[in-house]
Amino acid sequence: MAEPEPASSQTLSNNALKRERRARDRQAREEEKMKLSRNRTTVNQRPPMANDDAVDPAQYLRNRIQRLTLQKESGLNPYPHKFEVSMSVIEFIDEFGSLHVGEHIENTEISLAGRVLNKRSSSSKLYFYDLHGDGAKIQVMAEARHSDMDENEFANYHSGVKRGDIVGLCGFPGKSKRGELSIFPRSLVVLAPCLHMLPKHTITSNSAGAQSNHSWTPGTTRNPESYALRDQETRYRQRYLDLMLNPEVQKIFRTRAKIISYCRNFLDNLGFIEVETPAMTMTAGGAVARPFITHHNELDTKLYMRISLELYLKKLVIGGFDRVYEIGRVFRNEGMDLTHLPEFTMCEFYMAYADYNDLMDLIEKLLSGMVKELTGSYKIKYHGNGFDSEPIEIDFTPPFRRIDLIEELGSRANLCIPKDLSTETANRFLLEACEKFDIKCPAPPTTTRLLDKLVGHFLEETCINPTFIINHPEVMNPLAKWHRSKPGLTERFELFVNKRELCDAYTELNDPEVQRQRFAEQLKDRQMGDEEAMVLDESFCTALEYGLPPTAGLGVGIDRLTMLLTDSPNVKEVTLFPAMKPQG
């Protein structure tokens, strides 16, 4: 075994840099030699071929870098500038998937490229590769007799191709005797070597496991325990490895793109206009959360990262946009858990002359339509209680259940909740109720928080299938309009699915005087020590004084929606590069 040298590339880079520069100069002089075909020429001093799996990863890396350096020194470019592909791997499968067993179309010339994730050889004249591209896989059957290299060259070149390398190849399509769709290359070239040893593929390409990987569809369950790369830390920290080795993961993010695209089309078709409002603002309003603070150098001023899109979107409705939406990043400086990350994506839309009843109908249509289009059914399977429990079924068939918050809480908890919740007495009543049911409420126990805890305990727990909890008391959101017929309540709904809030919506409060009063009440909570209570946004109140038409608005969490449709109980599963705790 070689000396244990750290695989750290810093130590490599100084020498590598010099050598590489020299190589590049030479390269420039020998530009004639830079033709792709030259890349196939073998390098004389290739490190001896060992069984790669037996080599220590650090040694493996050093071997590969050494080989790379030698290649460069001999005037070859191991990183070609371009490779002309005539079709993608998926297109190849679509076009030739129906070939008969043993059928070859030798007069067709196809060029493909992708990553080699499996390599087998039965002799120096025959190599098999699994080529992965854009989420699909085919077999490469490289035979010396088809190659435009001579047998020695062929054996040399192919012994240097490693698992993980990106290759480009030209050849003809066919099906092997075992019925596997393959490409038979006349030429093959490494386009980018993989310098690291890839984590061992535990599932062979022919096994049923890999097949089921490829056939996962939104709305069905997943089993990350069966993945080639299972370690969660590695999967999230080095997402590119996760995407490379676990084909299902690519599909999660393609599903995410489809969800966003569905929302856009749905809203565009109703005449909504997509806008962009500031992510950095002078005050952070529109939600109850702790903001990130940053500093603008030239202005020498403090700026907050937005915690919601609400206030600016309403300003645009005031400005005359009757239907607006934004899909954008929102930031909250809070703890991370299974459903919370410091940045996430929200879709908020506002519709003039509509109220919260209209939006319940609209979101029902949007969500049930989306689930149906993406999964083919209204019902999805979801590991709502974690991967170690049985999956549950969630039914998005409209209409969704609607429950009145105060009525339902009263009957379920057998409480007679006071009508006026703004009093000390009401606060004491709720505090006692929480104590009675042994429900913990973090300090300070404001009426808002106590209610929130009771609702969480008695109502949210019952919401597996999509359920609207409606008509919240005024104290629970200062931006919602008072109910037109039920004093003390607001015209608001939250949509819960699998006990989690997915949407929050209301008829917007548009009376500037009442808005100011509500902000003043928030200030009281703040003074009680609730740092998350909403702050007065004077510029927003002024805007309201110019007149906000009757409007209803809704916010839906894109990450949570994606979690449901991709069977992901952890939000990190649906976030490409989630924030992670610093490595110890």
Partner 1 sequence: MEGLKLWRLSSSFAFARPSNFRQLFGFGASSTPLLRCLTTAATANTRNRRPSTSTSTSDREAVRAIRLKKVEQLRSQGLEPYGYKWDRSHTARELQEIYKDLNDGEELDGESHRVSIAGRIVARRAFGKLAFLTLRDDSGTIQLYCEKERLLNEQFEQLKTLVDIGDILGASGSIKRTEKGELSVKVDSFSILTKSLLPLPDKFHGLTDIDKRYRQRYVDMIANPEVADIFRKRAMIMKEIRKTVESRGFVEVETPVLQGAAGGAEARPFVTYHNSLGRDLYLRIATELHLKRMLVGGFEKVYEIGRIFRNEGISTRHNPEFTTIEMYEAYSDYQTMMDMAEEIVTQCALAVHGKLTIDYQGTEIQLQRPWRRETMHNLVKEVTGIDFTELEDDLKVAKDVVLKAIGVGLDSKDKTSIEACPSLGNLLNEVFEISVEPKLLQPTFVLDYPIEISPLAKPHRRHAGLTERFELFICGRELANAFSELTDPLDQRARLEEQVRQHNKKKAEAVSVTDGTEEQKNKNEDSMYDVTLDDDFLTALEYGMPPASGMGLGIDRLVMLLTDSASIRDVIAFPVLKTSQ
Of the candidates 535, 486, 483, the one whose C-alpha atom is nearest the C-alpha of residue 509 is: 483
**Minimum CB distance to partner 1 smaller for 277 or for 397:** 277
**Minimum CB distance to partner 1 smaller for 383 or for 481:** 481
CA 519 to chain centre: 35
Interaction between residue 134 and partner 1 (CB under 8 A): yes
Interaction between residue 579 and partner 1 (CB under 8 A): yes
Interaction between residue 517 and partner 1 (CB under 8 A): no
Please name every residue paired with 293 in a beta bridge, in sequence order, or none if there are none: 304
How far apart are alpha carbons 384 and 556 in whole angstroms?
19
Interacting residue with partner 1 among 43, 140, 170, 191 (CB under 8 A): 191
**Minimum CB distance to partner 1 smaller for 433 or for 544:** 544
For the chain, the helix, strand and coil percentages under 3-state DSSP, each to the nearest 5: 40, 20, 40
Sheet of strand 401-404: strand arrangement: 273-274, 323-331, 343-352, 551-557, 500-507, 492-497, 467-470, 401-404
How far apart are alpha carbons 413 and 457 in whole angstroms?
10
Interacting residue with partner 1 among 41, 42, 79, 126 (CB under 8 A): 79
Q: What is the DSSP string of 525-537?
A: HHHTT-TTSPPP-
Smallest distance from the beta carbon of 416 to partner 1, in angstroms? Answer: 29
Interaction between residue 339 and partner 1 (CB under 8 A): no
Interacting residue with partner 1 among 95, 109, 148, 513 (CB under 8 A): 513
Interaction between residue 9 and partner 1 (CB under 8 A): yes
Size of the site for partner 1 (CB under 8 A): 129
Interaction between residue 101 and partner 1 (CB under 8 A): no
**Minimum CB distance to partner 1 smaller for 71 or for 498:** 71
Interaction between residue 214 and partner 1 (CB under 8 A): no
Q: Mask 429-468, x = binds partner 1 (CB under 8 A)?
A: ----------------------------------------
How far apart are alpha carbons 330 and 349 in whole angstroms?
14
Smallest distance from the beta carbon of 541 to partner 1, in angstroms? Answer: 10
Q: Are 561 and 368 in contact (CB under 8 A)?
A: no
Smallest distance from the beta carbon of 213 to partner 1, in angstroms? Answer: 13
Alpha-carbon distance values, 448 to 434, 445, 472, 504 (Å): 13, 8, 10, 16
Q: Which stretch binds partner 1 (CB under 8 A): 238-246, 363-371, 468-476, 565-573?
A: 238-246
How far apart are alpha carbons 259 and 250 in whole angstroms?
14
Kindly report the CA angle at 478 between 476 and 483, in degrees rounded to 5?
Answer: 75
Interaction between residue 230 and partner 1 (CB under 8 A): no
How is residue 341 written in tokens? Answer: 């990350």
Looking at residue 180, what DSSP letter applies? -
Smallest distance from the beta carbon of 354 to partner 1, in angstroms? Answer: 6
Q: Are 252 and 566 in contact (CB under 8 A)?
A: yes
**Minimum CB distance to partner 1 smaller for 89 or for 433:** 89
Interaction between residue 20 and partner 1 (CB under 8 A): yes
Q: Under the phi-then-psi rule, with left for phi > 0, alpha for psi from -120 to 50, and beta for the rest, what region is 220?
A: beta
Interacting residue with partner 1 among 192, 270, 392, 523 (CB under 8 A): 192
Tell the residue number behind the tokens 């909740």, with chain if given.
417
Ranges within 521-540 binding partner 1 (CB under 8 A) = 539
Interaction between residue 63 and partner 1 (CB under 8 A): no
Q: What is the DSSP string of 46-76?
A: PPPP--GGGS-HHHHHHHHHHHHHHHHHTT-
Smallest distance from the beta carbon of 130 to partner 1, in angstroms? Answer: 13
How far apart are alpha carbons 450 and 427 in whole angstroms?
8
How far apart are alpha carbons 307 and 291 in whole angstroms?
6
Ranges within 364-383 binding partner 1 (CB under 8 A) = none
Interaction between residue 408 and partner 1 (CB under 8 A): no
Interacting residue with partner 1 among 43, 169, 305, 346 (CB under 8 A): 305
Interaction between residue 16 and partner 1 (CB under 8 A): yes
How far apart are alpha carbons 173 and 141 in whole angstroms?
10
Smallest distance from the beta carbon of 520 to partner 1, in angstroms? Answer: 17
- The secondary structure element, H or E, covering residue 513 is helix 512-527
Interaction between residue 30 and partner 1 (CB under 8 A): no
Looking at residue 292, what DSSP letter applies? P
Interacting residue with partner 1 among 43, 170, 243, 346 (CB under 8 A): 243
Smallest distance from the beta carbon of 418 to partner 1, in angstroms? Answer: 26
Interaction between residue 342 and partner 1 (CB under 8 A): yes
Of the candidates 570, 516, 583, 558, the one whose C-alpha atom is nearest the C-alpha of residue 224 is: 570
Interaction between residue 146 and partner 1 (CB under 8 A): no
Interaction between residue 85 and partner 1 (CB under 8 A): yes
Q: Amino acid identity, residue 291?
A: P
Q: Mask 308-327, x = binds partner 1 (CB under 8 A)?
A: ----x--xx-xxxxxx----
Interaction between residue 65 and partner 1 (CB under 8 A): yes
Interaction between residue 263 and partner 1 (CB under 8 A): no
Ranges within 276-295 binding partner 1 (CB under 8 A) = 276-280, 282, 290, 292-295
Tell the residue number behind the tokens 């025959």, with chain if given.
126
**Minimum CB distance to partner 1 smaller for 100 or for 484:** 484
Smallest distance from the beta carbon of 413 to partner 1, in angstroms? Answer: 30
Q: Which stretch binds partner 1 (CB under 8 A): 94-102, 431-439, 457-465, 544-552?
A: 544-552
How far apart are alpha carbons 184 and 187 in whole angstroms?
9
Q: What sign results for the dihedral spanned by CA atoms 365, 370, 371, 376?
A: positive
Interaction between residue 253 and partner 1 (CB under 8 A): yes
At 130, give phi and psi (nearest 5°): -100, 120
Smallest distance from the beta carbon of 348 to partner 1, in angstroms? Answer: 14
Q: Under the phi-then-psi rule, with left for phi > 0, alpha for psi from -120 to 50, and beta for the rest, what region is 502?
A: alpha
Smallest distance from the beta carbon of 443 to partner 1, in angstroms? Answer: 18
